[in-house]
A and B are shown apart, each in its own frame.
Chain A
């Protein structure tokens, strides 16, 4: 159906979006690249000249670099696993007949509406505080010593907070997919005596593959640049310094824009590696 005319019309219609995004990508990217080769120290008077690859070697040579890459991957991976596993369970559950289905759905998706800063503050102070937090009361009630969540189980705590925020998103997308399952086919399988596990494995999971792909893709994009939750809860201490947090420290706390920009370039490279992996693993599900 694509005539020459509609093709050029299509290009015309795509132009604003493409040009805007190209600008939004290229302008900061060029500036980041430029700064990354400069000795740019705002507190020492700004741009102090050419730095060659100094910023790059210094950023990667810092003892904080590899742990930060690891922390980033652990958070992304941990949250993905938790949200997808729990999301599937919840989606299947919410698809079952029950009383008050609408209200339960509302309860489950509510965390998605909470600002990351607010959720981090609430979790940190009102739940995970080892003295006044609600968890501490529960632990003490059962005679246990309260866990010092944000220092002793810092990574788990952050993964938990972030998972709480993203679980609704995963559940929603998986739920729409579950709802489109062919129930007759499922019933037929049940009649044939297929156990729940085998029905799940051979019928439900393949059907959900596409939805899972989408959850992985979108969440990864957002989780790679996760910031507010760490800023509020641990401030990068106790091994929770992600790559984007390390860049924040270099740019804003150390006021070394050149060094931070080099970190930004590394972060883009990491994001692209992750993206390529994602495409390899899940890309075939995404016949866009």
Chain B
């Protein structure tokens, strides 16, 4: 590694300025989601405690991924902490690119992290990233519209029920759409949704020999069901709707149901942003009776790139940001509904948090998701809405683009599945799987 004059000068300047020799400036790359932006507001609390200062690089999700992946695979060292997800962590951990998060302090209590989360953020039993918040997906629905339609949402509905309810709730003249679902291209957007949904229809991405499975009936069933449902009861332009577009539609009262990330529950029930805050109910993501539900599992987690000079300070930050104390700090200032959810078991044992309307359903959803056994028929990969192999993001983005073209009415389900099958097998061949 070559040390440059400018780096040295920068280091000298920092050393000269800081009173304690250990005080560092951490550069942290993060995504512009609500919980992370809230965390930035509490940075001073961290600085007071440890003396370290923090420089935030806040980026939109796609830009963030592109940025941190380039940096870590070239060992660029531009960041001391990166915000990554369950997809990246095991792959990067296996490559030796992340600092193992062992030797965390006693009071941090690693054992308190939900097993589903720590499992998904580990490789070979070593934790490589600490979950800032975790999520599954579930149904959020309008209790008033459901009542008006004369129906009652079961705790664990089937897709058939969802289809019926969505069509009953739809009132296009008043801009009420029975159901809002992601259709936007991108493996982390519509790709994630349709993959999780396909699990409940008995589909899978690959068979045990890594052959693409888009030519099987369950995939055709999934896609046909989705397209028919959305055409009958979905919002206009759903082919370009992702998490954020749907959130905004739901908050404006334009969706009867929305199946998406559990973290959205706190946004749709927040009266400051949501016009329907007091009329939202929750249920588990639907199934078709085959034994798998259509919910996913995801965590936004903090990881330290190997080779950073500031490993100790970075660990201190991660311990602070993902600690029980941080959760209490947020609860104290902004109420229990706004704490980062889904990461720690103790949060769900807290009587204050149990009063939050979506707490139990969130936990149930997370607990019912198993990345190691996500499909009805056996599959060779780990992950529910993704397959944790390096090639997946690229392939799934192209596949979801083909699907989005179906949603926009530009090709048929059969055409899209045939293209998906071909391009997936082609890419897997290039990567040496087949």
Contact = CB atoms under 8 A, between A and B. Distances in A.
Nearest to B429: A58
Contact of A253 (B73, B393, B419): B393
Given A45-B95, A237-B185, A238-B404, A249 B240 contact: no
A46 B391 CA distance: 14
Contact of B404 (A41, A131, A237): A237
B394 A256 contact: yes
Contact of A237 (B62, B252, B401, B419): B401
A254 B427 contact: yes
Interface in B365-417: 390-391, 393-395, 397-398, 400-401, 404-405, 407-410
Interface in A29-64: 41-46, 58, 62-64
B185 A255 contact: no
B237 A130 contact: yes
A165 B426 CA distance: 38
A249 B394 contact: yes
A236 interface: yes
Interface in B67-103: 69-70, 73-74, 91, 95
Interface string A200-233: 0000000000000000000000000000000100
B224 interface: no
Interface string B413-434: 0000001001100110011000
B235 interface: yes
Interface residues of B, number: 44
A152 interface: yes
Interface string B48-77: 000000000000001000100110011000
A249 B91 contact: no
A259 B429 CA distance: 14
Nearest to B72: A42
Interface in A43-89: 43-46, 58, 62-64
Interface residues of A, number: 37
Interface centre among A43, A130, A145, A254 (most CB of B within 10 A): A43
Contact of B405 (A239, A249, A252): A239
A134 B354 CA distance: 42
Contacts of B134: none
B408 A249 contact: no
Interface of B, secondary structure class, is helix
A238 B236 contact: no
Given A43-B390, A150-B240, A259-B430, A252 B69 contact: yes
A131 B70 contact: no
Contacts of A41: 390, 431
A191 B423 CA distance: 67
B405 A255 contact: no
A23 interface: no
Contacts of A130: 235-237, 240
Contact of B237 (A148, A241, A254): A148
The DSSP consensus for interface residues of chain A is loop
Interface in A233-266: 234-239, 241, 249-250, 252-256, 259
A244 B409 CA distance: 26
Contact of A234 (B185, B236, B395, B422): B185
Contacts of A239: 405, 410
A64, A231, A237: most-surrounded residue (chain B CB, <10 A): A237
A151 B237 contact: yes
Interface in A143-159: 145-146, 148, 150-152, 154
Contact of A152 (B91, B394, B409): B409
Contacts of A154: 408
B254 interface: yes
A151 B423 contact: no
A101 interface: no
A104 to B, nearest CB: 35
Contacts of B95: 43, 45
A131 B253 CA distance: 12
Contacts of A58: 426, 430
B237 A255 contact: no
A146 B405 contact: no
A182 to B, nearest CB: 51
A239 B401 CA distance: 9
Contact of B236 (A62, A148, A249): A148
A273 to B, nearest CB: 26
A107 B2 CA distance: 50
Contacts of A235: 62, 184-186, 397, 401
A253 B397 contact: yes
B235 A151 contact: no
Given A131-B254, A238-B401, A253-B393, 14 more contacts: A41-B390, A43-B91, A64-B398, A64-B423, A148-B237, A151-B239, A235-B184, A239-B405, A250-B394, A252-B66, A252-B70, A254-B394, A255-B73, A259-B430
14 contacts: A42-B69, A45-B95, A63-B419, A131-B236, A145-B236, A146-B237, A148-B239, A150-B237, A151-B407, A235-B186, A249-B394, A255-B69, A255-B394, A256-B430
Interface of B: 62, 66, 69-70, 73-74, 91, 95, 175, 184-186, 235-237, 239-240, 245, 248-249, 252, 254, 390-391, 393-395, 397-398, 400-401, 404-405, 407-410, 419, 422-423, 426-427, 430-431
Closest 6 CB pairs of A and B: A254-B394, A130-B237, A42-B73, A43-B390, A151-B408, A237-B185
